[in-house]
Chains A and B, each alone.
Chain A
Amino acid sequence: MPVRSLLLTGFRCFDTEVVEPDPFGLTVLRGPNGAGKTSVLEALSWLATGRSWRTSSRDALVRAGTAHAVLRAELADPARRLSVEADIPREGPVKVRVNGQVVSRRADVAEALRVVLFSPDDLALVSGGPAGRREMVDDVLATRHSRWEALQRDVDRILRQRGALLHQSAGRIDTAAAATLDVWDARLASAGTALADARQALVDLLDPLVAAAHRRIAGVGPGVRLAYQRSWEGDLGDALANSRVEDVRRRATGVGPHRDDVLVWLADRPARTHASQGEQRSVALALRLGAYHLILGDGGAPPVLLLDDVFSELDPVRASALVAELPTGQVLLTTAVEPPSGVSPDRVLDVSEGRIAAGAS
Chain B
Amino acid sequence: MYTGPLQGLIDELGRLPGIGPKSAQRIAFHLLKIAPEDAQRLAAAIVTMTERTTLCSRCFNVAEGDLCQFCNDPTRDPGVLCVVEDPRDIVALEKTREFRGRYHVLHGALSPLDGIGPEQLRVRELLDRVVPEALSEIILCTNPNLEGEATALYIARLLRPLGVSITRPASGLPMGSDLEYADELTLARALEGRRPVDA
Contact = CB atoms under 8 A, between A and B. Distances in A.
Nearest to B151: A183
B168 to A, nearest CB: 14
A326 interface: no
B34 interface: no
Interface stretch (B46-54, B94-102, B107-115): B107-115
A186 B154 CA distance: 10
Contacts of A164: 112-113
A180 B149 contact: no
B195 interface: no
Given A158-B146, A176-B118, A150 B176 contact: yes
B112 A161 contact: yes
A157 B146 contact: yes
B150 A187 contact: yes
A180 B110 CA distance: 8
Contacts of B147: 161
Nearest to A177: B117
Contacts of A24: none
Interface in B98-133: 110-113, 115, 117-119
Contact of A168 (B112, B146, B176): B112
Interface in B58-115: 110-113, 115
Contact of B113 (A154, A161, A180, A186): A161
A187 B153 contact: yes
Contacts of B176: 150
A49 to B, nearest CB: 20
Interface string A141-175: 00000000010001001101110110010000000
B153 A186 contact: yes
A138 interface: no
B154 A179 contact: yes
B150 A182 contact: no
Contacts of B32: none
A184 interface: yes
Given A161-B111, A164-B112, A164-B113, A184 B118 contact: no
B150 A184 contact: yes
Contacts of B154: 179-180, 183
Nearest to B117: A180
Contacts of A154: 146
Contacts of B15: none
Contacts of A157: 146
Nearest to A157: B146
A298 B112 CA distance: 40
Contacts of B146: 154, 157-158, 161, 187
Interface string A18-38: 000000000000000000000
Contacts of B157: 179, 182-183
B185 interface: no
B83 to A, nearest CB: 15
A151 to B, nearest CB: 10
A177 B118 CA distance: 9
B175 interface: yes
A182 B199 CA distance: 11
A183 B112 CA distance: 12
B148 to A, nearest CB: 11
A184 B146 CA distance: 9
Contacts of B113: 160-161, 164
Interface in A173-224: 176-177, 179-180, 182-184, 186-187
A179 B157 CA distance: 9
Interface string B174-194: 011000000000000000000
Contacts of A177: 117
Nearest to B158: A179
A168 B158 CA distance: 22
B175 A183 contact: no
A182 B150 CA distance: 10
A157 B146 CA distance: 8
Contact of B118 (A158, A162, A180): A180
A188 to B, nearest CB: 10
A183 B153 contact: yes
B106 to A, nearest CB: 14
A182 B160 CA distance: 15
A162 to B, nearest CB: 8
A158 B145 CA distance: 11
Across the A-B interface, give the 8 residue pairs with the lowest CB-CB distance, nearest first: A164-B112, A165-B112, A183-B154, A164-B113, A183-B150, A183-B153, A161-B112, A157-B146
22 contacts: A150-B175, A150-B176, A154-B146, A161-B113, A161-B150, A162-B112, A164-B112, A164-B113, A165-B112, A168-B115, A176-B118, A176-B119, A177-B117, A179-B158, A180-B118, A180-B154, A183-B110, A183-B150, A183-B153, A186-B153, A187-B150, A187-B153
Interface of A: 150, 154, 157-158, 160-162, 164-165, 168, 176-177, 179-180, 182-184, 186-187
Given A177-B117, A179-B154, A183-B110, 15 more contacts: A150-B176, A157-B146, A161-B111, A161-B146, A161-B147, A164-B112, A168-B115, A179-B118, A179-B157, A182-B157, A183-B153, A184-B150, A186-B153, A187-B146, A187-B153
